[in-house]
Amino acid sequence: MQKIMVCIKRVVDYNVRVRVKPDESGVMLEGVKMSVNPFDEIALEEALRIKERGTNAEVLAVSIGVADTQQQLRTALAMGADRALLVQTDQPLDPLAAAHALLAIAKKENPDLVLLGKQAIDDDANQTGQMLAALWNRPQATYASKLAIDGTKATVTREVDAGLETIEVDLPAVVTVDLRLNEPRYVKLPDIMKAKKKPLDVIALDSLGVPSPVSFKIVKTEPPAQRQKGIMVKDVSELVDALKKKGLI
Amino acid sequence: MSKILILGEHDAKTLNPATHKCVTCAKAIPGSHITVLLLGADTAAVAAQAAAIQGVDEVVRIDRAENAHPLAASFAPQIAALATGYTHLFGPSTSFGKDLTPRVAALLGVPQVSDLMAVDGAYRFRRPIYAGNAIVTLEADPARILVATVRVASFEAAPSGGAATISSRTLDVSLPSHTRYVGVHTGATDRPDLQTAARVVSGGRALGSAENFKLLFDLASKIGAAVGASRAAVDAGYASNEMQVGQTGKIIAPQVYFAFGISGAIQHLTGIKDARTIVAVNKDPEAPIFEVADVGLVGDLFQVVPELSRLIGA
Ligand SMILES: Cc1cc2nc3c(=O)[nH]c(=O)nc-3n(C[C@H](O)[C@H](O)[C@H](O)COP(=O)(O)OP(=O)(O)OC[C@H]3O[C@@H](n4cnc5c(N)ncnc54)[C@H](O)[C@@H]3O)c2cc1C
Ligand SMILES: Nc1ncnc2c1ncn2[C@@H]1O[C@H](COP(=O)(O)O)[C@@H](O)[C@H]1O
């Protein structure tokens, strides 16, 4: 295990309650707190643990996004990534476009393992890892809750609807991580200072020469339908009555 | 005409009801001709089930020993090879569909709509973003195949009563050996399945232990309900992974959902907002769960749940 590439997406912080713009053109992002996608923190934590377990692999954090994404990559460096790369663009990318850009980086960097989050909490797409694996013609192991590296292969436990599935993949492979893989470490102040000296390269998306894949047209963005306000009951017998009245028990 | 290919999900014995829901979604597209595709080692039994769904015109089987387990790396090239001529390709928004469908889309060189929740036209759809805080309407280019996962909680299962034709295909597609199935560990019980149950009893961090979750299992047995959990309860080890309800767990739409000791974080609520009735019991009157509950009770779950079990059992 020489090199692990971790994909980091800059997203609206998970504590922010996102609101739709009155003109239905999108969601309000001005002045909103931005963070590393929570699943990507888990991906990075896993890479760091594989490194610290003695493989000493280089951990490379990669993001495609606006110039300010450097903030999230600095966070990744402070957590312990060795090096970061920002593929800069002002265009919002859908997962297929992101996968094409990540493929170009993977081909340059030749990582043994690419770790991504299972989904970005902004678009909730859950696609990029699978698409990257397809384009790269490599194995995919999605929704990992356990990851064991053994020489040239990895054994991955996956969270599936039925329970936990285990598969074995040859490296290099693409793994997308689920919530229970690990608990990401906290960044300490000295780490933030140290991170300032670590290399963070910025290249333009255009310089990669990847095709700009077709996308969907977004017609409008609306708030979800609201549920009707319900009733409060005083005690359990009133609760039972209410359920009976609705024909639920 | 829209020629729609649906990726059928099954465990060799039973067709997953997610497939029936994809059929309902596909039927909402005007002038649709619907084909269910089944990959497996022996899909005879599930093909008969798929052919009996009302609205299905055709069932196509690809039986092959390597298809015994649904590995995306093996399934995707076969599906991509078969997809030519179809206008739409739908997979369910289950772990099976979410894993597989994007791999197919990328092989076909097209983007994907995830969690399609409403059909406004053959190439116009709605889907949720930001954990359901916003709904976008998307338009796709009719010149390309439209690949999507169908948000199963948004559609009713199509009824049976159909009689589609069944055919078998062999494909000359070589499969990778770089991905191997090892096994699966299920917490399988004879309880109703969380994703299709009409009633769900769910518990949060407040349960405090796996032991205490038994209170919920007792109540669930009384009313024939499945048991779910918040992420906090799963992370703490009180409940198993596959019980998690929410943005990153299961999105469900039961007739009635009971939330005991669940605060109602946005990530949890996104998993239950299609429930017909939400019943919440929480000792904090300010808990956000009460903003969405149809019936709310401020109280201690350790008192409420046993009493509820008793009164319902009586
Ligand atoms: C990226 C991401 C994805 C996530 N995905 C999910 C997801 O899919 N599903 C999910 O559920 N969460 C998810 N979460 C977590 C979510 O934000 C909340 O942390 C979680 O839902 C809280 O679980 P809880 O309500 O059980 O716990 P808490 O928020 O701690 O609430 C416990 C509640 O129990 C009440 N209580 C305490 N004692 C009693 C008692 N004796 N009787 C009655 N009430 C009592 C309290 O008043 C409180 O309201 C996600 C978070 C992130 C960041
Ligand atoms: N623009 C991006 N830059 C870096 N990584 C990304 C980007 N978009 C998606 N990813 C990765 O892909 C994962 C899944 O995203 P998505 O398919 O959008 O749900 C994320 O958790 C990231 O790891």
CA of B262 to the centre of ligand 1 (A): 5
Compute the distance between CA of residue B123 and CA of residue B41 in angstroms, rounded to an integer.
34
Q: Which residues of A touch B135 (CB under 8 A)?
A: 221-224
Read off the pTM: 0.96
User: Do A113 and A170 touch, CB atoms closer than 8 A?
Assistant: no
The answer to whether B169 contacts chain A (CB < 8 Å) is no
Instruction: Give the H/E segment covering residue A243.
Output: helix A236-245
Which of A177, A145, A139 lies closest to A163 in space, CA to CA? Answer: A145
How close, in Å, is residue B258 to chain A by CA atoms?
A: 11
Compute the distance between CA of residue A128 and CA of residue A134 in angstroms, rounded to an integer.
10
| Residue predicted with more confidence, B301 or B312 | B301
Tell me the percentage of chain B whose pLDDT exceeds 90: 95
* pLDDT exceeds cutoff 80 at B313: no
Which of B26, B19, B27, B145 lies closest to B88 in space, CA to CA? Answer: B145
> Mutate which of B129, B141, B144, B289 to test chain A, going by most A C-beta atoms within 10 A?
B129
Compute the distance between CA of residue B45 and CA of residue B42 in angstroms, rounded to an integer.
8
Query: What does the pLDDT average to over B113-141?
Result: 97
* pLDDT exceeds cutoff 80 at B312: yes
SS3 B39: strand
Which of B258, B215, B264, B210 lies closest to B238 in space, CA to CA? Answer: B210
Query: What does the pLDDT average to over B45-72?
Result: 98
Query: What local confidence, expressed as pLDDT, does residue B314 receive?
Result: 59
Query: What local confidence, expressed as pLDDT, does residue B227 receive?
Result: 97
Query: What local confidence, expressed as pLDDT, does residue A54 receive?
Result: 86
Contact A179 B235 (CB under 8 A): yes
Q: Which residues of B touch A119 (CB under 8 A)?
A: 248
Under DSSP, the state recorded for B310 is: H
Query: What does the pLDDT average to over B146-173?
Result: 96
Q: Is B134 exposed, middle or buried (0-12, 13-18, 19+ CB in 10 A)?
A: buried
Query: What does the pLDDT average to over B138-149?
Result: 97
In A8-114, which residue ranges form alpha helices assigned H by DSSP? 38-50, 70-79, 95-109
pLDDT digits (tens, 9 = 90+) for A106-122: 999 999 999 999 999 99
* Domains in chain A with CATH codes: 3-223 (3.40.50.620)
- A108 CB contacts (<8 Å, ≥6 apart)? none
Counting DSSP H helices and E strands in chain A, the numbers are 6, 13
Q: How far is CA B67 from CA A148, B38, B41, B60, B64, in A?
A: 25, 10, 5, 14, 5
SS3 A45: helix
Query: What local confidence, expressed as pLDDT, does residue B188 receive?
Result: 64
* pLDDT exceeds cutoff 90 at B261: yes
| Residue B33 main-chain phi, psi, to 5 deg | -110, 120
For residue A127, give the ligand 2 atom closest to its CA.
17
* pLDDT exceeds cutoff 90 at B284: yes
Query: What local confidence, expressed as pLDDT, does residue B187 receive?
Result: 74
Cβ–Cβ pairs < 8 A, chains A and B? 252
At B131, list the tokens: 């954990």
Contact B73 A133 (CB under 8 A): yes
Name the average pLDDT for chain B.
Answer: 96
pLDDT digits (tens, 9 = 90+) for A14-62: 999 999 999 999 999 999 999 999 999 999 999 999 999 988 899 999 9
Instruction: Place A133 in a pLDDT band, splitting at 50, 70 and 90.
Output: very high
Compute the distance between CA of residue B296 and CA of residue B202 in angstroms, rounded to an integer.
14
| Residue predicted with more confidence, B247 or B83 | B83
Which of B235, B283, B241 lies closest to B259 in space, CA to CA? Answer: B283
Query: What does the pLDDT average to over A85-90?
Result: 97
At B302, list the tokens: 């350790």
Burial B148-161 (b: 16+ CB within 10 A, else e): bbbbbbbbebbeee
Q: Can you say whether the dihedral through the CA atoms of B299, B305, B310, B313 is positive or negative?
A: positive
Compute the distance between CA of residue B64 and CA of residue B42 in angstroms, rounded to an integer.
7
pLDDT digits (tens, 9 = 90+) for B96-105: 999 999 999 9
Under DSSP, the state recorded for B15 is: B
Under DSSP, the state recorded for A212 is: -
Q: Which residues sit opposite A87 in a β-bridge?
A: A64, A203
For residue A125, give the ligand 2 atom closest to its CA.
19
pLDDT digits (tens, 9 = 90+) for B187-200: 767 788 898 899 99
Query: What does the pLDDT average to over A80-88?
Result: 98
Which of A34, A35, A80 lies closest to A59 in space, CA to CA? Answer: A80
The answer to whether B294 contacts chain A (CB < 8 Å) is yes
Tell me the percentage of chain B whose pLDDT exceeds 70: 99
Ligand number nearest CA of B269 is 1
* Domains in chain B with CATH codes: 2-168 (3.40.50.620), 199-313 (3.40.50.1220)
pLDDT digits (tens, 9 = 90+) for A166-224: 999 999 999 999 999 999 999 999 999 999 999 999 999 999 988 877 789 999 999 99
pLDDT digits (tens, 9 = 90+) for B211-249: 999 999 999 999 999 999 999 999 999 999 999 999 889
Compute the distance between CA of residue A103 and CA of residue B172 in angstroms, rounded to an integer.
27
Compute the distance between CA of residue A194 and CA of residue A198 in angstroms, rounded to an integer.
7
Q: Which residues sit opposite B313 in a β-bridge?
A: none
Q: Which residues sit opposite A3 in a β-bridge?
A: A58
In this prediction the ipTM stands at 0.96
* pLDDT exceeds cutoff 90 at B26: yes
